[in-house]
Amino acid sequence: MLPPNITVRFATLADAGEIAAMSRELIETGLGWTWTQARVTRNIASTSTVTLAACEAERLVAFAIMYFGDDHAHLSLLAVRRPWQRVGIGRHLVAWLEESGLVAGIGTIRLELRASNRGARRFYERLGFQEVARVPEYYGGVETAVRMARDIRRGLAGPVPNIRELLRR
């Protein structure tokens, strides 16, 4: 459940600088900065990408960026400022994107996260994501990525038994 003082909306081009700064601070710490304002702006403007902003009044407290392909989606970034973590905002953003994916005919959501980010990994596992691969030196040539995926189609009793095969499509 989303806290009552938080609203979710589509991000605007005016949000790009703050989203990029949050990415640098909360996601890309210690790495080269790849999610610059220009890159975030391109994603907000793209018809293949949804960028959500969660706000308390006018303050951006969380965001999510997800690319929608033909049959799968890729959760590129998700960040929640520390004071607002563990209150359901991240879960709400992922649920919103998942519902959008179902409407768009998406079967699988994929993502990568730093192998050292145990908190994020537990978060995604609680949402039903499972590890499908590890990619050494994925992050700036210095850190391994854990690649995770989740089949979001309704009516399935748990994870798809052979999700690795599903991801090869």
> pLDDT per residue over 5-63, tens digit each?
999 999 999 999 999 999 999 988 888 789 999 999 999 999 999 999 999 998 999 99
- H helix intervals, 51-162: 89-103, 118-126
Which pLDDT score, from 0 to 100, does residue 138 have?
Answer: 87
Class of domain 6-167: alpha beta
The radius of gyration of the chain from alpha carbons, rounded to an integer in Å, stands at: 15
**Three-class SS of residue 41?**
helix
Q: What are the Cα distances from residue 58, in Å, to 6, 7, 55, 90?
A: 10, 10, 6, 18
Q: Which residue has the tokens 């994870």?
A: 159
Provide the residue ranges of all domains of the chain, joining segments of one domain with +.
6-167
Catalytic positions, please? 112, 124
pTM, 2 dp: 0.88
Query: How does pLDDT run across 58-105, given as a tens digit for each residue?
Result: 899 999 999 999 989 999 999 999 999 999 999 999 999 999 999 999
The CA-CA-CA angle for residues 106, 14, 69, to 5°, reads: 15
